Amino acid sequence: MSPRPLGRITAAGSGLLLAVTLAACTPNPSPEVAVRSFLLAWQGGNHAEAATYTDGDPAQVEEALTDMREQLDLASLRFELGPITREGDSADAEFGVHADLGIGDPTWNYTGRMPLEWGPDGWRISWSASVLHPDLSEDERLAVSYESQERGQILDREGRPLVTADKVTAFGVYPAEMEDKEAGVTQLAELLGEDPDPLLNRVRSAPPEQFQPLVLMRDSSVDQNLLNQVGKVSGVDTQEVEVNLSPAVAPFLLGEVAGTAEHKVSSRVPGSYQAGDTVGLSGLQNIFQHELAGSGTTQVVSLDRSGDITDVLESWEGDRSGVIETTLDTGVQRAAEYALDPLPGDGYLVAVDTASGEVLAAASSSDSTADDAALTGSYVPGGAFTLVSALAALESGAVRPDSVVPCGYSTDIGGQTFTNPSAGFLSGEPDLARNLAFSCNVGFADLASQVGPQALTETAERLGIGAEWQLPVPSSPGEVSIGGGDADVASAMIGEAGVRVSPLSMALVAAAIADGGWHEPALVPGEASASEGSVPLEQTHLEVVRQGMRDAVINRMPELLATGGEVYGQATRAEQGDTSLHWFVGYKDGVAFAVLAEVEPDRTMWTQYAVESASTFLASMANGVPAEETGVPPEEQGLADAEADLTGVEGATTGETGW
């Protein structure tokens, strides 16, 4: 009989029609009917029925079919009929197998073959282990081997690792040594607070003699009582391994890694991951999960009675894990974190490269992986925004560099009274730079009607506030949304009504003033730009703002000059809700930075906390963070040489008359 192709079995209705047809016919009247009936029953999980279409021992065939499904932990099994050749009382059938190995694993596709013989009961499949797979012998069984990748590193701009390799305890099992796999794995999962289903999925299909790591737990979380309880479960064992888990710096930027019991990875993290894998929950660890974790190598193997691998029947090579390079500078980052330590409340510091906008450091005083307000916060900038307002006044033509900008005690605009931070005034004929140097709110408020809301908004956007840009991690460009009243514009000029910024956006403002043009921020080199670039700022206007910032440091913040060189900046206090915000925004030697300290109002007059942090930051960049604070020798911190030139404090004045 010539080969005869048969159709694909896909619907339950096919089985019903077949059953009706067979009822009126001789059992297994043709090879096609026998093969179709066998595959329908096997595909549907009716293994006892499938066994009746073979010449093997029904109990043994049923057990073999059931074992295959469990050994591979199949999510589904689907067949396609292939050609059948017949010679007299013998036949040979081909069939396509599509074995879905489950969540996180591929589908195993192969061509199966089964011989058939004609006998008293019609055509029957000649049973052997090769029906399951052509390369399987009677003394072999199937299994799925899964090998995870070592998690990759996140590097700073000099290629230094930013994630520490933690010693963790891998809780796992030797399947062959378990008295009852389901009961044992469930008991282990309960002890570790995990969902047992993903753990069971891995154990069922694994080579029984190989250790299968299921849950990773940091050694600090493992106590002897837990180990004693786990040790009572047959087949359970533990192994010590090292995994790149903990961020050495910038916790909220780098993010946390799951795979530990305390993170409940099996219930918190969706996706195609096996039990025991590591998964980034936040920050760069999450954004670049695939690049850092790669994907495991999965193999379908045959095992002998001793559990040794005899053959690899199919293999899917995983993607290699790699590294993620960042623009962070470990030394600058450590200096930023050290500078925030003394703050009485929450605080943030962001530093960027003035020439490129690359983020050198982003720190929070909380050290929490969830506290990303340094990049995403929405804060009132107060007088720190006068850096923007000064440029807007110059670019709009409201003032010239040498124009007199009076600064009285107060001014009334649109029914609202504006005063200076220290209730003082500027004597003589102050220009815009002098108003900026002494943070004269009154002078800037009086310029509001000449500048107007449109010019202020446009200048802010040219400096990145409210512009369209993004980082691979959540971040905020801030916004300027000014109301229609005269008082609204005046309030916006001094960074209050309608103006919100993040520390990152203010650091970028300082960088633009230093470099002469705004640069979109970058954290991971090569990430696509979201902005259309920027137009260079007018140099004569920038010189006015720079002079004001330089004079502000000399006259009001001389402590920032302790490490020598030229420091430019603006410091202010602002109120937001029931919190006092202390700001410093400035730059030195190619590093622009913004410091924000959240302080309780009853402590706000004791000191300017942001200026203190800025002073510590500059000193730490120059001299290094004390080794006892980092646990890293100064020569390995990536900071400037500890013997940096200290030129002393430049001559500082005592302040403006009448201020």
Query: For residue 607, what pLDDT is reported?
Result: 81
254 membership: H or E segment, kind and range: helix 251-254
Q: Which amino acid is at 273?
A: Y
Domain with CATH 3.40.710.10 in the chain: 330-636
Three-state secondary-structure class, residue 356:
coil
Q: Dump pLDDT digits (tens) for 34-59.
A: 999 999 999 999 999 999 999 999 99
Rounded Cα–Cα distance for residues 193 and 199 (Å)? 12
State the Cα–Cα distance between residues 185 and 169, nearest whole angstrom.
17
40 token code pair: 């329908």
CATH of domain 147-325: 3.90.1310
What is the number of helices (H) and of strands (E) in the chain? Answer: 22, 23
In the sheet with 107-119, reading across from the earlier edge strand, the strands are: 76-87, 90-100, 107-119, 122-125
pLDDT of res. 1: 37
**Pairwise CA distance, residues 103 & 274, whole Å:** 8
Q: 12-137 has which fold?
A: Nuclear Transport Factor 2; Chain: A, (3.10.450)
Of 573, 543, 545, 537, the residue nearest 434 (C-alpha):
545
Average pLDDT value for the chain? 86
Query: In the prediction, which pLDDT does 318 show?
Result: 80
Integer Cα distance of 439 and 390 in angstroms:
11
For the domain made up of 330-636, give the CATH fold.
Beta-lactamase (3.40.710)
Give me Rg for the CA atoms of the chain: 36
Q: Which residues contact 436 (CB under 8 A, 6 or more apart)?
A: 386, 387, 390, 544, 545, 548, 549, 551, 552, 570
Report the distance separating Cα 169 and Cα 459, nearest Å: 55
Q: How far apart are CA 604 and CA 591, in angstroms?
A: 27
Residues sharing a CB contact under 8 Å with residue 640, sequence separation 6 or more, in sequence order = 331, 621, 622, 623, 624
33 residue type, one letter: V
Split the chain (659 residues) into runs of 10 and give each run's mean pLDDT.
34 34 58 96 96 97 95 92 95 96 84 95 95 95 85 94 89 90 92 84 82 82 88 92 88 84 52 68 91 86 90 89 94 97 95 97 94 97 97 96 95 95 90 96 96 97 94 95 94 96 98 96 80 78 98 97 96 94 97 96 80 97 80 43 26 32
Q: What percent of the chain has pLDDT over 70?
A: 86
> From CA 644, how far away is CA 636, in angstroms rounded?
16
Task: Report the distance separating Cα 252 and Cα 361, nearest Å.
Answer: 12
Report the C-alpha gap between 462 and 646 in whole angstroms: 36
pLDDT score for 176: 86
CA torsion through residues 512, 517, 520, 521, sign:
negative
User: What are the helix (H) ranges across 72-210?
Assistant: 181-192, 196-205
Q: What is the pLDDT of residue 363?
A: 97
Distance of alpha carbon 561 from alpha carbon 639, whole angstroms: 19
Round to whole Å and give the CA distance between 432 and 544. Answer: 7
Residue 105 confidence (pLDDT): 75
Residue 56 in tokens: 């093997």
Token pair listed for 445:
């408020």
SS3 content of the chain, % helix, strand, coil (to 5): 35, 25, 40
Range(s) within the chain of domains with CATH label 3.90.1310:
147-325
Distance CA 337, CA 344 (A): 14
568 close to 550: Cβ distance less than 8 angstroms = yes
The encoded tokens of residue 222 equal 């493992």
The count of other CB atoms within 10 Å of the CB of residue 11 is: 9
